[in-house]
C-alpha cells in the first residue's frame, strides 16, 4: 500500500523551476488538493525510481527560508519539520536550485541541508545559465555542500534519470544510517558561505544574462512597456473571440446535429423532449465554449511560463498603487479573467492581509471565462458583425468594452474598499523577476488539459444536473394548453415571483428563470435560456432554432444590454463563494461579497436599461 511508499519532497526558492521539475518527474500522475486547515495547495504525484518502484513526490511551496513570512512558507516549514497533519515527513529532500542564481538560492539550501535529512540537490536550468555564459562545476558544488548534486534541465527532461537514481541511492543509505546533524550557522554566515560556494562552483563566466536584459530593456521600458502590454491583452481578447469561432461552430453543429438525430429517430414522447431540450440543448450550450476557455488559458499559462507575468505586475504596480493595491494583485486579477477560483487562490502570494482581502473581494469583477458564453450569445444576437477597422470587429470591441467595464468596476470597488472595510496601511511591492524562458509544449498541454478536464467535468456533472432539474421544474405540472407550459410549471411560478423584483431593470420572466439556476455557475444562464425557449416552443422547427434567434424575438436591445451589465457584476458562481469562504475562513466576507456585488449588478443593469430606453432602444 501507499502507506509504505517513500515520500520525497521538492523544496527550494520561488522561481527555481520546481513546478517544471515536478511535472517532468511525475508526468500526468498528479494530485492537487489542499493541506488540511490551511489554504495552501498541496501538489503530489507518483515518481518512479529506476527500479520501477513508486515514490510519492510532494511539491512544496517556494520559500526563502524556514522562518516563514507567508502562509506558503509556513506550510513548507511544517511539512519539513513533520508538523503537518496528514502529511508524512519526507524521507528524502530534493533541493531545487536555479543554476544561474546560486548565490541567492544556496542560502535556503544550506538551511535545508542543516536539517540533516538525506538530501540531493537538483542544479536546475543549467541550460539557461549556459545561455547566459555561466558554466558551473557540479562536482565542486557537491564537495562544498557535502551532498550529491545533479545538473538538470526540467523542461527538456535532462538529468531526470540521474536524479531518480540519486534519490534511490539516498533511500538505501537512509535505511542503514541515522540522520546526521550538521552544525548550525547564523543567517549572515550562511549568506557569506553561499557567496563563497557559488563563486567556487563557477568554471567560467562571461557577459551577464544578455537575452534577459535585452528583452527587459523593451518590455520594462517606461514608454514602450505599457503599449506592449496593452497590445498583448488586446491580442488575447481578439483571439478569444475570433480564433475560437470555427471550432465553436463545429461543436455547435455537432450538438444540433445530435439533437436533430434524436428528434427524428425517437418516438414523440416526454423522454425525447427531455433528451433533446434538456440534456443535449443544455449541456451542448455550455460545451461549445471550451475552445474560448482554452485559448484564454493558453495565453495566461504562456505568460506565466515565459516569465512575462512578473513584468506585467511591475508595469501595473503604479496603477494598482493608485487604488491602494500593488502589482502583486495583478497576477491573481489577470488569472481571474480565466476563472476567479484559481485567481482567488493565487492571492496567497500577497503578504499583506488587507491587500489580499481587497484583491479577493474584487476578483469576481474580472470577466471570467464562464461569462464568455453569456456575453457571446448576447453579443452575437444583438450586435451586428461589422468591421470597424480592418481586423477589428464591432463584436470584439463590445466584448472588450465589457472587460474594461469590469476592470473599471473593480478599480472603483478597490478604491472604496481600501477606504472603508479594508482600511489600512498602503501595501508594498517586492517581487523577484524570473528569467525569461521558452515554455514547453508538454507543460502547456498538461496545464490546458487540467483546465479542460475541470470544465468538462463541471459540464458533465453540475451543469448537467442543474439543467435536468430545471427541465423538470419547467415541465411539471403539465399545462393543458402546450403554449402555456412555462407559465404553468413550478419554475414559472418561482420566476413570476422574482420577476416583480427585476422588472424595473428591464428583465423579463425568462431572465428570472435563467438567473436562478445560474447561481450555480454563470454559463448555466445560457443553457437555462436554451432550455426555457426550447420548452416554450410547441413545434419542432421552432425548437431547433438557434438560441440567438430566439433571444432576438423575445428581448429588446435595452434588455439585452441590461443583461450584459448585470453579468459584469453579479457574483453568480457557487465555486467562487465557496473558495472565498475557505480563503477568508468564514462566512462574513463571502456574504459581504454577495451583497455588494448583487447591489452593484442591480444598479448597473438598471442604469443601462433606463439609459437605453431613454435613447429609444427599448
Interface positions with other proteins (CB under 8 A): 64-65, 67, 69, 100-101, 103-104, 107, 132, 134, 187, 191, 208-209, 212-213, 216, 220-223, 225-226, 310, 313-315, 317-318, 321, 326-327, 351-352, 425, 428-433
CB proximity list for 137: less than 8 A, separation 6 or greater: 201, 202, 203
Of residues 201 and 372, the one with the C-beta less far from other proteins: 201
CB of 314 to other proteins, least distance (A): 5
Helix (H, G, I), strand (E, B) or coil at 209: coil
CB of 602 to other proteins, least distance (A): 36
Based on the number of CB atoms within 10 Å of its own CB, is 203 exposed (0-12), middle (13-18) or buried (19 or more)?
exposed
Of residues 221 and 423, the one with the C-beta less far from other proteins: 221
What is the rounded CA–CA span in Å between residue 97 and residue 12?
6
Can you give 481-501 as a three-state secondary structure string? Answer: CHHHHHHHCHHHHHHHHHHHH
What is the rounded CA–CA span in Å between residue 471 and residue 550?
18
Of residues 18 and 209, the one with the C-beta less far from other proteins: 209
End-to-end CA distance of the chain: 67
Q: Residue with C-alpha cell 435563467?
A: 514
Q: Which residues are bridge partners to 33 per DSSP?
A: 42
Of residues 112 and 397, the one with the C-beta less far from other proteins: 112
What's the DSSP call for residue 539? Answer: S
Of residues 135 and 488, the one with the C-beta less far from other proteins: 135
- Is 270 in contact with 442 (CB distance < 8 Å)? no
Around Cβ 83, how many Cβ atoms within 10 Å?
Answer: 11
Of residues 204 and 208, the one with the C-beta less far from other proteins: 208
Helix (H, G, I), strand (E, B) or coil at 204: strand
- Give me the phi and psi of 10, to 5 degrees please: -90, 125
- Is 308 in contact with 300 (CB distance < 8 Å)? no
CB of 433 to other proteins, least distance (A): 4
- Give me the phi and psi of 119, to 5 degrees please: -135, 140
Of residues 67 and 423, the one with the C-beta less far from other proteins: 67
Least Cα distance to 126 among 94, 149, 92 occurs for: 149
- For every residue of 546-599, DSSP letters joined together read -HHHHHHHH--HHHHHHHHHHHHH---BHHHHHHHHHHHTSSHHHHHHHHHHHH
Q: Which residues are bridge partners to 30 per DSSP?
A: 45
CB of 223 to other proteins, least distance (A): 7
Of residues 108 and 589, the one with the C-beta less far from other proteins: 108
- Is 593 in contact with 364 (CB distance < 8 Å)? yes
Based on the number of CB atoms within 10 Å of its own CB, is 539 exposed (0-12), middle (13-18) or buried (19 or more)?
exposed
Of residues 177 and 207, the one with the C-beta less far from other proteins: 207
What is the rounded CA–CA span in Å between residue 97 and residue 479?
70
Of residues 108 and 609, the one with the C-beta less far from other proteins: 108
143-149: long-range pairs with CB below 8 Å, 24+: 144/197, 144/200, 144/201, 145/106, 145/109, 145/110, 145/113, 145/121, 145/197, 146/113, 147/113, 147/119, 147/120, 147/121, 148/120, 148/121, 149/120, 149/121, 149/123
What is the rounded CA–CA span in Å between residue 60 and residue 41?
9
Of residues 17 and 45, the one with the C-beta less far from other proteins: 17
CB of 184 to other proteins, least distance (A): 18
Of residues 114 and 216, the one with the C-beta less far from other proteins: 216
Least Cα distance to 358 among 432, 427, 304 occurs for: 427
Of residues 187 and 607, the one with the C-beta less far from other proteins: 187
Q: Which residues are bridge partners to 96 per DSSP?
A: 12, 122
- Give me the phi and psi of 367, to 5 degrees please: -70, 105
CB of 556 to other proteins, least distance (A): 43
Amino acid at each position: 500500500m501507499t502507506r509504505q511508499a517513500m515520500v520525497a519532497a521538492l523544496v527550494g526558492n520561488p522561481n527555481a523551476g520546481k513546478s517544471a521539475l515536478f511535472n517532468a518527474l511525475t508526468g500526468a500522475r498528479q494530485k492537487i488538493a489542499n493541506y488540511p486547515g490551511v489554504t495552501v495547495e498541496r501538489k503530489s504525484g507518483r515518481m518512479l525510481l529506476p527500479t520501477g518502484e513508486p515514490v510519492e513526490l510532494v511539491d512544496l511551496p517556494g520559500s526563502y527560508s524556514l522562518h516563514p513570512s507567508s502562509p506558503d512558507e509556513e506550510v513548507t516549514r511544517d511539512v519539513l519539520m513533520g508538523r503537518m497533519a496528514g502529511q508524512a515527513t519526507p524521507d528524502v529532500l530534493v533541493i531545487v536550485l536555479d543554476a544561474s542564481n546560486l548565490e541567492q538560492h544556496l542560502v535556503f539550501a544550506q538551511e535545508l541541508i542543516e536539517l540533516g535529512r538525506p538530501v540531493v540537490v537538483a542544479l536546475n536550468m543549467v541550460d539557461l545559465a549556459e545561455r547566459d555564459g555561466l558554466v558551473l562545476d557540479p562536482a565542486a558544488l557537491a564537495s562544498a555542500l557535502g551532498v550529491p548534486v545533479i545538473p538538470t534541465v526540467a523542461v527538456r527532461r535532462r538529468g531526470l534519470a540521474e536524479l531518480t537514481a540519486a534519490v534511490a541511492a539516498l533511500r538505501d543509505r537512509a535505511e542503514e544510517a541515522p540522520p546526521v546533524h550538521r552544525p548550525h550557522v547564523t543567517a549572515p554566515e550562511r549568506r557569506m558561505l553561499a557567496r563563497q560556494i557559488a563563486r567556487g562552483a563557477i568554471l567560467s563566466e562571461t557577459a551577464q544574462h544578455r537575452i534577459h536584459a535585452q528583452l527587459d530593456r523593451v518590455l520594462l521600458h517606461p514608454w514602450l512597456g505599457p503599449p506592449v502590454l496593452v497590445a498583448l491583452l488586446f491580442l488575447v481578447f481578439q483571439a478569444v473571440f475570433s480564433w475560437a469561432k470555427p471550432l465553436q461552430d463545429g461543436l455547435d453543429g455537432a450538438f444540433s446535429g445530435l439533437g436533430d438525430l434524436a428528434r427524428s429517430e425517437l418516438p414523440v414522447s416526454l423522454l425525447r423532449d427531455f433528451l433533446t431540450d434538456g440534456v443535449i440543448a443544455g449541456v451542448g450550450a455550455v460545451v461549445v465554449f471550451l475552445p474560448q476557455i482554452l485559448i484564454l488559458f493558453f495565453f495566461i499559462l504562456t505568460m506565466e511560463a515565459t516569465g512575462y507575468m512578473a513584468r506585467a505586475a511591475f508595469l501595473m504596480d503604479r496603477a494598482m498603487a493608485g487604488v491602494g493595491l500593488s502589482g502583486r494583485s495583478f497576477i491573481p486579477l489577470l488569472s481571474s479573467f480565466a476563472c476567479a477560483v484559481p485567481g482567488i487562490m493565487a492571492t496567497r502570494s500577497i503578504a499583506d492581509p488587507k491587500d489580499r482581502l481587497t484583491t479577493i473581494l474584487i476578483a469576481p469583477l474580472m470577466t471570467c471565462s464562464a461569462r464568455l458564453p453569456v456575453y457571446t450569445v448576447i453579443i452575437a444576437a444583438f450586435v451586428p458583425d461589422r468591421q470597424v477597422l480592418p481586423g477589428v470587429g464591432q463584436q470584439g470591441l463590445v466584448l472588450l468594452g465589457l472587460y474594461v467595464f469590469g476592470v473599471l468596476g473593480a478599480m472603483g470597488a478597490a478604491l472604496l474598499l481600501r477606504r472603508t472595510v479594508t482600511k489600512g496601511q498602503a501595501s508594498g511591492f517586492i517581487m523577484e523577476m524570473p528569467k525569461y524562458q521558452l515554455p514547453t509544449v508538454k507543460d502547456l498541454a498538461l496545464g490546458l488539459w487540467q483546465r479542460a478536464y475541470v470544465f468538462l467535468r463541471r459540464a458533465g456533472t453540475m451543469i448537467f444536473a442543474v439543467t435536468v432539474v430545471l427541465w423538470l421544474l419547467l415541465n411539471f405540472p403539465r399545462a393543458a394548453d402546450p403554449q402555456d407550459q412555462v407559465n404553468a410549471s413550478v419554475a414559472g411560478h418561482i420566476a413570476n415571483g422574482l420577476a416583480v423584483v427585476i422588472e424595473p431593470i428591464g428583465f423579463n420572466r425568462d431572465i428570472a428563470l435563467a438567473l436562478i439556476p445560474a447561481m450555480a455557475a454563470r454559463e448555466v444562464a445560457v443553457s437555462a435560456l436554451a432550455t426555457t425557449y426550447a420548452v416554450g416552443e410547441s413545434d419542432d422547427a421552432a425548437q431547433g432554432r438557434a438560441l440567438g434567434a430566439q433571444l432576438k424575438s423575445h428581448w429588446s436591445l435595452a434588455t439585452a444590454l441590461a443583461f450584459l451589465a448585470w453579468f459584469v457584476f453579479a457574483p453568480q458562481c457557487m465555486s467562487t463563494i465557496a473558495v472565498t469562504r475557505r480563503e477568508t475562513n468564514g462566512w462574513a466576507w463571502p456574504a459581504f461579497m454577495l451583497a455588494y456585488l448583487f447591489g452593484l449588478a442591480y444598479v448597473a443593469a438598471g442604469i443601462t436599461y433606463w439609459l437605453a430606453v431613454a435613447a429609444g432602444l427599448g
